[in-house]
């Protein structure tokens, strides 16, 4: 009754398989291959499972007219959502919400090259937390970082760093380094690549592809190599060049303020002010941040390229969370341009799942795919009724129990199923047990068996499963 499949691999698999709506290229290719294998048009079951529409056709009888056909929606341009942030902003604007704190776990879609082993898919879940509202500076921002810190600590993924920067510091830096205004965004995108390529390549892209002067690029190079904490923010506030930018000073003052709150939240051991952090998205207006796992072991397991930036740092295995402040986005959806300041974070749950899976595989520890605590089994034939009676008792007591859907299953196959599924206990009924008013309780791991009276069975199961 309470058998819940929680295997992340299964969920992942179903996530793309169960969703018939999206006809992604690989799937089409796979199906065409399948068709080829079937040898074309011979045999009774000749058919091509080609499109999602055909997948749904002929299944629902007269209700088929209710199927939502995207083609019929008036020929409008439609897109699948790219992230949860823009839809959130649209929701706030259209419902005139000025204060909210919420999390949202849902699917988003990217026209990207998937890399299954590294947890990169075209259709995947995002897990966002955002705080919207006009508040005093850096308090909600600090809470977002605290949340990232807590999540990554509790998931026990290995060591991590949360890099922090501010869009205004980047823009101020670009200005004082002599980057023309119209090149801020594109140079920012190039800086964002520092976590994937070494400085030399980034510099070449700036100069050769984006036409920046060598002098400007080198000045940027000096800044983006800087990492530190509140001390670095204080030092840069005194920096002769950077302090000429009002934008940069506002950003640096906020970084200082942020670190004072992070100290109170006891998370500064993992947070680093890193001027190379740029983040690609246009909508950020202030603080930006990104969490990366730094454990060498995980890096090897994930087969990931080494981090180019900060050579003496531990190896980064890529971003597992990121976010920042986006004070202008809600206003873009409001007819009167009314702004609602927002700060949020997106947790890369797919990537985190993928890392957890690889760790689990490496540890050779068996992952239970069921929450079932006890299997109700029988030692002889013709005991289905007794099994159903007993499982009803257990279910009523809130115990997660399972029974095989066979009239006369073999005891061995019942026990084997428990071993395979990781069900810790078996309640075995036999004719002798029924006569004696007992149940034979078997511990799957130790194969220990004890007779327990029917009256005490529930409390005995609860006691034993509480230990686990």
Binding annotation for L-histidine = 83-85, 110, 126, 130, 279, 283-284
CB of 244 to a second copy, least distance (A): 27
Give dist(CA 357, CA 301) in Å, integer.
10
CB of 403 to a second copy, least distance (A): 8
Q: What is the CA radius of gyration of the chain?
A: 29
Residues 6+ apart with CB under 8 A from 43: none
The correct pick among 55, 117, 416, 432 for binding a second copy (CB under 8 A) is 55
Residues 113-132 contacting a second copy, CB under 8 A:
122, 131
The correct pick among 333, 339, 379, 422 for binding a second copy (CB under 8 A) is 333
Among residues 270, 194, 271, 267, the alpha carbon closest in space to that of 233 is found at: 271
Q: Does 289 bind a second copy (CB under 8 A)?
A: no
Query: Where do the DSSP E strands lie in 139-205?
Result: 160-166
Give dist(CA 69, CA 21) in Å, integer.
10
CB of 46 to a second copy, least distance (A): 9
Residues 189-248 contacting a second copy, CB under 8 A:
189
The one-character DSSP state at 207 is: I
Q: 234 or 393: whose CB is closer to a second copy?
A: 393
Would you say 166 and 255 are in contact if contact means Cβ atoms under 8 Å apart? yes
Judged by CB under 8 A, which stretch of 51-59, 169-177, 195-203, 204-212 contacts a second copy? 51-59
Q: 59 or 447: whose CB is closer to a second copy?
A: 59
Judged by CB under 8 A, which stretch of 22-30, 210-218, 317-325, 432-440 contacts a second copy? 22-30
Q: 102 or 246: whose CB is closer to a second copy?
A: 102
Give dist(CA 368, CA 370) in Å, integer.
6
Judged by CB under 8 A, which stretch of 172-180, 306-314, 333-341, 434-442 contacts a second copy? 333-341
Give dist(CA 78, CA 443) in Å, integer.
56
Taking CA atoms, 111 is separated from 29, 37, 38, 105, 441, in Å, by: 16, 28, 30, 20, 53
H or E element at residue 456? helix 454-467
Judged by CB under 8 A, which stretch of 16-24, 212-220, 223-231, 348-356 contacts a second copy? 16-24
Query: How far is C-alpha 104 from the geometric centre of its chain's CA atoms?
Result: 11
**Binding marks (x or -) toward a second copy, 61..90, rule CB under 8 A?**
xxx-xxxxxxx-xx-xxxxxxxxx-xxx-x
Give the interface size with a second copy as a residue count (CB under 8 A).
112
Q: 258 or 299: whose CB is closer to a second copy?
A: 258
**Binding marks (x or -) toward a second copy, 292..331, rule CB under 8 A?**
-------------------------------------x--
H or E element at residue 209? none
Which residue reads 């506030």 in tokens? 237
């Amino acid at each position: 009754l309470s058998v819940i499949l929680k295997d992340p691999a299964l969920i992942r698999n179903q996530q793309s398989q169960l969703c018939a709506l999206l006809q992604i290229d690989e799937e089409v290719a796979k199906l065409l291959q399948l068709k080829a294998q079937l040898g074309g048009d011979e045999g009774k079951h000749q058919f091509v499972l080609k499109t999602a529409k055909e997948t749904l056709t002929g299944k629902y009888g007269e209700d088929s007219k209710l199927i939502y056909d995207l083609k019929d929606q008036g020929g409008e341009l439609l897109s699948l959502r790219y992230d949860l942030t823009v839809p959130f902003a649209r929701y706030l604007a259209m419902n005139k919400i000025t204060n909210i704190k919420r999390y949202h776990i849902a699917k988003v879609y990217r026209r990207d090259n998937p890399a299954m082993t590294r947890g990169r898919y075209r259709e995947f879940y995002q897990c966002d937390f955002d705080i919207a509202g006009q508040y005093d500076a850096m308090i909600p921002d600090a809470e977002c970082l605290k949340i990232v810190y807590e999540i990554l600590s509790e998931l026990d993924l290995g060591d991590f760093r949360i890099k922090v920067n501010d869009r205004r510091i980047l823009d101020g830096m670009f200005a004082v380094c002599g980057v023309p205004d119209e090149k801020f965004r594109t140079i920012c995108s190039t800086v964002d690549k520092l976590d994937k390529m070494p400085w030399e390549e980034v510099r070449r892209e700036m100069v050769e592809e984006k036409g920046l002067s060598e002098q400007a690029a080198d000045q940027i190079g000096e800044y983006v190599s800087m990492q530190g904490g509140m001390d670095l923010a204080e030092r840069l506030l005194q920096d002769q060049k950077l302090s000429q930018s009002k934008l940069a000073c506002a950003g640096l003052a906020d970084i200082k303020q942020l670190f004072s709150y992070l100290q109170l939240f006891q998370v500064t051991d993992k947070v680093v002010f890193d001027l190379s952090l740029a983040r690609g998205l246009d909508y950020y207006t202030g603080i930006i941040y990104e969490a990366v796992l730094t454990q060498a072991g995980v890096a090897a397991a994930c087969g990931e390229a080494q981090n180019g930036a900060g050579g003496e740092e531990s190896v980064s295995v890529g971003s597992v969370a990121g976010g920042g402040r986006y004070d202008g986005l809600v206003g873009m959806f409001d007819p009167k341009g009314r702004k609602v300041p927002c700060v949020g974070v997106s947790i890369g749950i797919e990537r985190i799942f993928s890392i957890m899976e690889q760790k689990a595989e490496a540890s050779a520890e068996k992952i239970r795919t069921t929450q079932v605590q006890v299997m109700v089994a029988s030692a002889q034939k013709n005991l289905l009724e007794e099994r159903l009676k007993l499982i009803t008792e257990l279910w009523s007591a809130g115990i997660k129990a399972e029974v095989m859907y066979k009239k006369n299953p073999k005891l061995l196959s019942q026990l084997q199923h428990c071993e395979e599924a990781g069900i810790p206990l078996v309640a075995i009924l036999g004719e002798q047990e029924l006569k004696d008013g007992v149940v034979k309780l078997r511990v799957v791991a130790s194969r220990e068996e004890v007779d327990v009276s029917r009256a005490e069975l529930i409390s005995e199961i609860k006691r034993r499963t509480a230990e686990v």
